């Protein structure tokens, strides 16, 4: 059984292995200068390949949760830096066999690098193929930052007029940060309603992790489900292809396989698993909009009610 450790203990463990690492992946909603300098100092001799993924929304920089200069220095150091707007996960992967997750961001407070720090809970995660694939997917589907893009982000923030626009924009303009429109396995339910899922614990910002965290309030969970990326894709696909005949389970499986942007592509049996999970969510939260039925002895068929 995995034991919880504090962020101070996490930092001690990271400090013992970072100077010998060859590859470092850090996924953290927020990144600040003290943490960048801490990482840079620890790896100045071994110079590992470093990938950083953060949320990096306008509000994050304006509020000081993340620091643009820390990102700039990271890029100048040769780090790969990427942005993912719905990121909430905090993951530290050292080489191929050491993974930590928890609530500690890559900040001075998060890693207890300053005196007035946060108290965070963290844990070591088994380096399973599923966990490593999940980390790779976050990195591969994030938007790459460059010095040019960072300059545009800074200019956008500098041009905001808080006297006429008191509300900070939720996202960057499309020309600065293009939206990720592809659909991935992680956009779908990775377990049936109410069942525990390790990936949801690692990344609680996933659509179905959020739905599950709100499942004690049926109306909230239903609204979240009907506004999820997966439900929108399924409903749009069924409407587009329904024609004179309703779509069977196998037809939806093939369409989902072709639509997923995961690289490498998932196995057909894995797609069928998430499709089964999705149908269970529909039965629970959307029976008023989509009907799933079995005509005779055939497989499940899906059709739009409204």
Closest CA to 77 of 27, 20, 38, 29: 38
Contacting residues for 270 by C-beta, under 8 A, at least 6 apart: 185
How far is the C-alpha of 20 from the C-alpha of 48, rounded, in Å?
8
**Residue 227 confidence (pLDDT) above 90:** no
Domain spans of the chain, in order of start: 4-159, 185-304
Contacting residues for 272 by C-beta, under 8 A, at least 6 apart: 249, 253
What is the C-alpha end-to-end distance of the chain, expressed in Å?
47
CATH topology (fold) of 4-159: Endonuclease; Chain A (3.30.870)
Q: Does residue 51 sit in helix, strand or coil? A: strand
88-92, 109-113, 197-201: which has the minimum mean pLDDT?
Answer: 197-201
Reported as half-sphere exposure (CB side, CA atoms, 13 A), residue 124 has a value of 13
Does residue 80 contact residue 56 with C-beta atoms inside 8 Å? Answer: no
**Residue 286 confidence (pLDDT) above 90:** yes
Calculate the average pLDDT of the chain: 91
Q: Is the pTM of this model over 0.75?
A: no
Burial of 119 (0-12, 13-18, 19+ CB in 10 A): exposed
91-94 sheet: strands from edge to edge: 4-6, 121-125, 98-102, 91-94, 23-27, 49-54, 80-83, 143-144
pLDDT of residue 165: 61
21-30, 32-41, 177-186: which has the minimum mean pLDDT?
Answer: 177-186
154-163, 214-223, 282-291: which has the minimum mean pLDDT?
Answer: 154-163
pLDDT of residue 252: 92
């Amino acid at each position: 059984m995995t034991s919880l450790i504090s962020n101070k203990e996490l930092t001690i463990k990271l400090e013992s292995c970072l100077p010998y690492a060859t590859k470092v992946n850090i996924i953290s909603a927020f990144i600040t200068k003290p943490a960048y300098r801490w990482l840079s100092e620890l790896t100045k001799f071994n110079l590992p390949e470093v990938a950083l993924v953060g949320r990096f929304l306008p509000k994050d920089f304006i509020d000081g949760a993340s620091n643009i200069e820390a990102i700039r220095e990271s890029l100048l150091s040769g780090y790969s830096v990427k942005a993912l707007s719905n990121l909430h996960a905090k993951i530290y992967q050292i080489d191929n066999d050491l993974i930590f997750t928890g609530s500690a961001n890559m900040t001075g407070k998060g890693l207890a690098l300053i005196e007035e720090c946060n108290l965070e809970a963290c844990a070591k995660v088994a380096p399973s193929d599923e966990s490593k694939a999940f980390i790779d997917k976050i990195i591969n589907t994030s938007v790459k930052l460059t010095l040019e893009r960072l300059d545009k982000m800074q200019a956008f923030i500098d041009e905001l007029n808080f006297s006429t626009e008191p509300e900070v924009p939720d996202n960057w303009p499309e020309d600065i940060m293009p939206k990720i429109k592809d659909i991935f396995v992680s956009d779908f339910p990775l377990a049936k309603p109410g069942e525990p899922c390790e990936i949801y614990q690692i990344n609680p910002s996933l659509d179905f992790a959020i739905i599950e965290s709100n499942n004690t309030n049926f109306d909230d969970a239903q609204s979240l489900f009907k506004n999820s990326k997966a439900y929108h894709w399924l409903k749009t696909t069924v409407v587009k292809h329904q024609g004179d005949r309703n779509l069977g389970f196998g037809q939806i499986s093939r369409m989902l396989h072709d639509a997923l942007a995961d690289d490498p592509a998932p196995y057909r049996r894995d797609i069928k698993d998430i499709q089964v999970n999705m149908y269970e969510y529909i039965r629970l939260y959307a029976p008023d909009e989509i009907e799933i039925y079995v005509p005779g002895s055939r497989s499940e068929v899906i059709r739009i009610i409204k």
